[in-house]
Copies of this chain bind each other. A is one copy, B any other.
Amino acid sequence: MDKIFHPKSIAFVGVTTSNPFHWTRTFWESAREFQFAGPMYPVNPRGGELDGYKVYRSVDEIPGNIDYAICTVSAKIAPKIVRECAAKGAKAVHFCTAGFAETGDADVTELQQELVSTAREAGIRIIGPNCMGIYCPESRLSYDSGFSKESGSVGFISQSGGNSIYMIREANWRGVKFSKVVSFGNACDLNESDFLEYLAEDPQTKIIALYLEGVRDGKRFRNLLERASHKKPVVLVKGGCGEAGARATSTHTGSLAGNDVVWDTLCRQFNVIKPQNMEEMVDVLATLQCMPDFKGRNALLVGPGGGASVMLTDEFEKRGFSLPAVTDKIRDELLGFSQAAGNMLRNPIDYSQSMQDPGSMHKAIQLLTAWEKVDFCVGFFRPSQMTDGFLDMVRKADHLVHNAFDASFKPVTYIVECGITPTRQAIAFEMAQRIMSAGKPVYYSFAAAAEALRLVADYNRHKISKQ
């Protein structure tokens, strides 16, 4: 399996020179963008040239051996391609092409079975069909030229190609980096269990994320999930919960969805974090990767006050967090050096009066987070409610604010509530970028932040109780 994630030479079978949007062409261009270090062989019966490389008319024609092949070819010729790749020494072939067993069509289902038996005979492994294959920055292998070139600690196993593209892009932007990602689609050969077994042992992978629509071998998967969850945090999104959802997964990756209650129970049993959707998974991964572990459910919220404070407090309390009321003793101390009115020094703390006085804010954060009742601290901004003038002031002061938060004795996280209007969002992105580039977690909505922290707090609590 290690060799599959680290091929030294690749054939791109079915790559087109004419259509730049064709999938194998996308893989080709991604490998070029990532500066894949080994030999790359474009293959197409029409021959010709691509980016200065000779296009071979068949895999047979390739001079020397190949480790890996990425193929966009029809189901009909897939078995033939596998045989040719095997003859060239390939360890694995990735079939991107859809139109296999997921169609429900008996003829192509038979072709998919033929593909598997051919691969078994030839001693070759298959990824797919109907998937994006592998993204491994360390190997300079990617299926999108825009993914991060930096390696990280998250290993991601995704049945869906689209959901994996969504996740990698969004998570990258939030500062999450990946060790290995595999989009495996129909899983006619290598499946979720094979990849989970590998990532559980992979030393580069510290966190495992899964998007699954169903599993092939329930018992094996259960055992592997148990083993993996003892070693590292595991985050799982299950797609296809209801009746039509099951229909959608079956036409999507040809898998049986299974009962949602079973999945919930399984995840609870092994302390697997189970977000409801991909958006929540991104939030959870950003938390796990960027925020130090926090011990309990006592939050200190520091932000602009007013209605925003009320809304954020609700999101946290609804999810079982406590906001301990600041003691009179601490409040009196705060009043000794802060300009804020006494009513703004409860919890949530209204920083708006102190924003331009980073010295006192720094002291306040130290004082408050030294308090044993606080487990973590959330700094929040809400550009979408600010007037232009106030926003301008905040933009000028926000690095001072972040410096002040650096004084915290407890884990800190930030919310930049960006809303959905283009102008405010541009500003929110600018503010968020500064925080994220310092390796800190940022959320974009109150509810999203509270939900991700709840999922991680539950995980932390069970982890501690097991120890």
Residues 314-330 of A at the B interface (beta carbon under 8 Å): 314-318, 322-323, 325
Chain B residues contacting A244 (CB-CB under 8 Å) are 313, 316-317, 322-323, 325, 347-348
- Interchain nearest-CB distance for A327 vs B (Å): 14
Closest B residue by C-beta to A146: B388
Closest B residue by C-beta to A425: B425
Binds B, one of A221-229, A338-346, A361-369: A338-346
Chain B residues contacting A174 (CB-CB under 8 Å) are 420
Instruction: Give the contacting residue for A307; candidates B161, B304, B447; CB below 8 A.
Output: B161
Chain B residues contacting A316 (CB-CB under 8 Å) are 244
A17 to B115, CA, bound (A): 79
Residues 95-121 of A at the B interface (beta carbon under 8 Å): 99, 102-105
Pairwise interchain contact A163-B213, C-beta atoms closer than 8 A: no
Pairwise interchain contact B279-A309, C-beta atoms closer than 8 A: no
Each complex incorporates copies of this chain amounting to 2
Chain A contacts to B: CB under 8 angstroms: 20-21, 26, 99, 102-105, 144-146, 158-166, 169-170, 173-174, 211, 213, 239-245, 247-249, 251-252, 276-279, 304-311, 313-318, 322-323, 325, 341-344, 346-348, 350, 382, 384-390, 393, 418-422, 424-426, 429, 444-447
Closest B residue by C-beta to A237: B311
Instruction: Give the contacting residue for A166; candidates B163, B252, B385; CB below 8 A.
Output: B385
- Give the 4 A-B residue pairs with the shortest CB-CB distance, closest first: A160-B307, A242-B317, A163-B307, A244-B323
Given contacts A248-B348, A251-B346, A422-B429, contact A314 B161 (CB under 8 A): no
Closest B residue by C-beta to A299: B244
